[in-house]
Chains A and B, each alone.
Chain A
Amino acid sequence: MGWIRFLRRGRWDVERARELEAHIDIETDENIARGLAPDEARWAARRKLGNELRIREEIYGMNTIASLDALGRDLRYGVRFLRRTPGFTAVAVLSLALGIGANTAIFQVIDALRLRTLPVPRPEELVEVRIAKPRSRAGNFYGRYSELTNPVWEQVRARQEAFSGVAAWGTTRFDLAEGGAVRRAQGLYVSGGFFDVLGVTAAHGRVLTLADDRPGCAGTVAVISHAFWQREYGGDRAVLGCTLLLEGHAFDIIGITPSTFHGVDVGRSFDVAVPICAAAVINPDAGLTEQAHVWWLSALGRLRPGWTSQRATAHLRAISPSVFQQTLSSWFDPEPAKGYLAFTLEAAPCASGFSSLRTQYSSPLWLLFGLSGLVLLASCVNLANLLLAKASTREREIGVRLASGASRWRIVQQLLTESVLLAALGTAGGVGLARVLSGLLVASLSTGQNPLFVNLPMDWRLIGFAIAIALITTLAFGLAPALRATATPVVQLVKSGGRGGTIDRGHHGLRATLVIVQVALSMVMVGSATLFALSLRNLSTFDTGHRRDGVWVAELSMGRLALPDDQVPAALRALLDRLRSIPGVESVARTAIVPMAGMSMADDIRIEGAATTTQLTYFHRVGPGYFRTTGVPLLSGRDFDARDDVRSRRVAIVNRTFATRLLASPAALGRVFHAQTAPNTWAPYEIVGIAEDAVYSDVRDPVPPVAYLAIDQDQEPDRGPVFLIHSRLSPSVLSTSVTRAIAEVGPAIAVEFSSLSAIVGGNTQRERLLAELSGSFGILALVLSAVGIYGVLSYLVARRRQEIGVRLALGSTRSAIVRLVARDSLRWIGAGLVLGGGLAVVAANAARSMLFGLAPTDPTALIIAAAMLALSGAAATIVPALRAARLHPTGALREE
């Protein structure tokens, strides 16, 4: 009722005006009838009615809600004010939008990775079934979440009573091509009950069921994701029943998952899901389905009604001994076997799914969240300062309003309304910006080898977050200036009239403090940006011991050739010869793992004649020419050559760390160590060469003791060989030549071609992200602090025009005036740098683990940051200082 009246108050008023008009007409008619002249009659009628406007106002007052009406007026007034000062408005809205946008974007990614639950029914019932804190597991590991072996999974499925359903899944990559250049698809192996346990039904067709997942399944079927369906088939429904080629094996497409479902691996999506039993067909050599030392699955369960994860853990613990007893592999040595039997299973809540990104990017994201918070804070401080300057030019207006009876609260309210308007505009811009930024953030973490997918919907959580920070910001930048502007006694306000002779110490003090805070915040941001930039530079210019450019990696898959074991070595030799004969290729070598790409192989060895019995050593199986190709120098001895084959004595080349740490003598050549070629089978290796240390698996790790073994002495046929190629040819020319050369040997061989530097670069994503984002924040902070210093100095110079005029008139030199103005600025910058330098060290200390090759207190970084801030501060100082010095004394004095 009241609201309706409020909303219709305008129309009511029009009605009243018409009614009163009619009243006057009638009265006029009567007056004319009484004999008055028409003009006179109307005047008499008006006089009798009294003040028409006052009557209407009284009625309007009955209809309105005073505070809302005032708000509307304030908003209109605010809009007018902001439009009158477009420069200020632009700076304010832009800095707020950047601050809010950065915060919202990073929150969005954190939310998507950490806080959001899976888009399935009752996600809180889902738990992960895993081994509780396994100390160390021996065996082979495949995929991203290699928690369980297939035998363990089958035991869990058979014995558990805690869940209404359990499911297992493993990740893999499928090649969709028939041969030649590889086309990758993200694959999932899932147990038959996977979709059912999650509660996911097919959007079209059907999902996999228990019947599809039988040991030795022959009729192989696949479910594809909505995104893959759109991308590969343009969303054509006729795809159901069609054949899909995975690693050269045909699968029937039986269904398409809903567009909201992206699997349980948060941060990645899947393209194709096939039953676990299909692993035996696709990858028969790996022993995925039958071997109890092959870890490649992860399991999840849906709790029975009334069960908690604690109760489920107790139950799983109880069945653990029999599960591990039943699945103990003969592959294990006695020591690992004892550890294996002691494993216990547990249930851990996983309503928000699984995510390796979560752990990998957790600390960088929180750190960036903190830094973006600082950006927002710096924007607020800057705005507060700008608003203070604005308020000082409005002193007289505010004074007049206070003097004519406006309450202080009413004026604070009005000033705050302007801040709210700014914040609203900034938030709108920020939310729009966040959409773009979060997408870019995820894209910048993604590489061709490792595509990421993070579902980033715009929903109430995000809007809520943006509005919450907008409100906090408004109070942060708007309240202080509003209170300050209305705190000065009225008389003084009206008298000074915005251009007084003296400087109010209170205003000056607050504004100087704000500038110091701003410089300090900027110092923290610029300081950490410099640290991360130097860290990235250290990482990317770090001497890894390898040749940096012109080294290419060709990863082959010969599975589809279906060669018998004894023909594989000949095929490998043919490939090597063909690659070496490409004009422009300088050298080619086969390797088992790509150096510096995060891959590793390690085992204990026994060294003949050494005091300690076993030593952990990292292995690198390489062919002849590896050292020439990678540029790792051989210090002594010889490279592997054609003599080193399966029939000859096993040989090894060790790195310098191996020689000095494990052998502890320079006479390493000719020494012998023993290593396992198969479980419990030890073989002697003679050291024939020593190589210089080179980074093994990760640039960030110190070089471990490494033994290079001759890959041609391996007993197992290598159907997935990796070739390193050193060539100065351009990538496109080389990749074409390499693909053609390989196709000549076998058209069904799949090839993936990339550069070593790209693979290594993929490992520095985290550092790159930190450096780039903190760098942009740092630049923003620099600009904000410069704007702050410039704004305050300009204001001070404007207020001191007369003082400066007097000084000039009395013979002060212009350089003295510049010094006078610059003195304040230098004091603020100095104080800010000291304060911020301390804070920067504290902040960097928290990020210590994310720095490479420098300490958090690195003086170079701090000096660079301080110099940049000092420079930008000086630039912001010079303009107002020169303006002060160029003042014309008579002009300035005449103004009074």
Chain B
Amino acid sequence: MPKRGSAPLDGELLQGTLDLLVLKTLLLGPAHGHTIAHAIERRSDEVLQVEYGSLYPALHRLEDRGWIASFWGTSENNRRARYYRLTPAGRTQLVQQENRWDLLVQAVNRIVKPVTE
């Protein structure tokens, strides 16, 4: 049984980051898995490559926690696809995760790029 409700940024950095990226992407509006992956890749200038093998389990996990919800819809080229949208709980979670990300980035930056007067 997977452990639920644990802090996403604890432990695996990558997984927590993927969650944050997915939530942030969905802030723009509902999207299906394929679009989410593409959006992340495009907006990071192809720096971040999304593994589908991690994306779909991540989507399932986020939905299970109630942060996103899913429904079947029709894609741009008339394909049936499973769409995801952010839930109110997901928005709150997104804010929290962004704050933690900022903290993390600042902390890492303080070590990697010390400020010199």
Residues of chain A having any CB pair with chain B under 8 Å: 2, 5, 15-16, 18-20, 22-23, 25-27, 29, 48-51, 54-55, 58-59, 61-62, 64-66
Contacts and interface: CB of A to CB of B under 8 A. Distances in A.
B77 A26 contact: yes
Contact of B57 (A15, A48, A59, A65): A59
Contacts of B64: 5, 62
A5 B81 CA distance: 22
B60 A16 contact: yes
B52 A48 contact: yes
Contacts of A51: 53
Nearest to A54: B53
A28 B79 CA distance: 11
Interface string B1-16: 1100000000000000
Contact of A26 (B1, B34, B51, B60): B34
A54 B56 CA distance: 11
Contacts of B60: 16, 59, 62
Nearest to A65: B1
Contact of A55 (B34, B57, B82): B57
6 A-B pairs with the lowest CB-CB distances in the bound complex, closest first: A19-B82, A62-B2, A22-B81, A50-B53, A26-B34, A59-B60
27 contacts: A2-B1, A15-B82, A18-B82, A19-B82, A20-B56, A22-B32, A22-B75, A22-B80, A22-B82, A23-B34, A23-B81, A25-B79, A26-B34, A26-B79, A26-B81, A27-B34, A29-B77, A49-B52, A50-B51, A55-B52, A55-B53, A58-B57, A59-B56, A61-B2, A62-B60, A62-B64, A66-B1
B61 interface: yes
A16 B34 contact: no
Nearest to B1: A65
A582 to B, nearest CB: 89
B30 interface: no
A61 to B, nearest CB: 8
Interface residues of B, number: 19
A703 B2 CA distance: 83
Contact of B33 (A15, A19, A65, A66): A19
A51 B34 CA distance: 16
Contacts of A18: 80, 82
Interface in B59-101: 60-61, 64, 75, 77, 79-82
A73 B38 CA distance: 40
Nearest to B57: A58
Given A49-B52, A58-B57, 18 more contacts: A15-B82, A16-B56, A16-B60, A19-B56, A19-B82, A22-B32, A23-B33, A23-B34, A26-B77, A26-B79, A26-B81, A50-B51, A51-B53, A55-B53, A58-B53, A59-B56, A65-B1, A66-B1
Most B CB contacts (10 A, CB to CB) among A5, A19, A25, A55 go to A19
Nearest to A58: B57
Interface string B31-53: 01110000000000000000111
Contacts of B51: 50
A843 to B, nearest CB: 53
Interface of B: 1-2, 32-34, 51-53, 56-57, 60-61, 64, 75, 77, 79-82
Nearest to A61: B2
A54 B57 CA distance: 10
A236 B64 CA distance: 64
Most A CB contacts (10 A, CB to CB) among B56, B77, B79 go to B56
A708 to B, nearest CB: 88
A29 B79 contact: yes
A267 B50 CA distance: 79
A26 B56 contact: no
Contacts of A50: 51-53
A314 B51 CA distance: 88
A756 to B, nearest CB: 77
Nearest to B80: A22
Given A16-B60, A55-B57, A26 B75 contact: yes
A5 B79 CA distance: 28
Nearest to A5: B64
A59 B82 CA distance: 16
Contacts of A54: 53
B57 A62 contact: yes
A66 B1 CA distance: 7
Nearest to B77: A29
A472 to B, nearest CB: 32
A48 B56 CA distance: 13
Contacts of B77: 26, 29
Nearest to B34: A26
A783 B75 CA distance: 72
Contacts of A16: 56, 60
A59 B84 CA distance: 17
A598 to B, nearest CB: 70
Contact of A62 (B34, B61, B75, B80): B61
A23 B52 contact: yes
A54 B53 CA distance: 8
B1 to A, nearest CB: 6
A644 B75 CA distance: 121
Contacts of B57: 55, 58-59, 62
B32 A26 contact: yes
Contacts of A26: 32, 34, 75, 77, 79, 81
Nearest to B2: A62
A22 B79 CA distance: 7
A439 B1 CA distance: 50
A59 B53 CA distance: 10
A19 B32 CA distance: 9
A48 B79 CA distance: 19
A64 B77 CA distance: 35
Most A CB contacts (10 A, CB to CB) among B1, B77, B80 go to B1
Contacts of A22: 32, 75, 79-82
A59 B2 CA distance: 10
Contacts of A15: 82
Contacts of A65: 1
B64 to A, nearest CB: 7
Nearest to A28: B79
Most B CB contacts (10 A, CB to CB) among A2, A29, A54 go to A29
Contacts of B2: 61-62
Contacts of B75: 22, 26
A450 B82 CA distance: 78
Contacts of A62: 2, 57, 60-61, 64
A26 B77 CA distance: 8
A62 to B, nearest CB: 5
A55 B32 contact: no
A54 B2 CA distance: 17
Nearest to A49: B52
Contacts of B53: 49-51, 54-55, 58
A5 B52 CA distance: 23
B85 to A, nearest CB: 15
Nearest to A15: B82
Contacts of B81: 19, 22-23, 26
B63 to A, nearest CB: 10
A61 B2 CA distance: 8
Contacts of A59: 56-57, 60
A125 B35 CA distance: 77
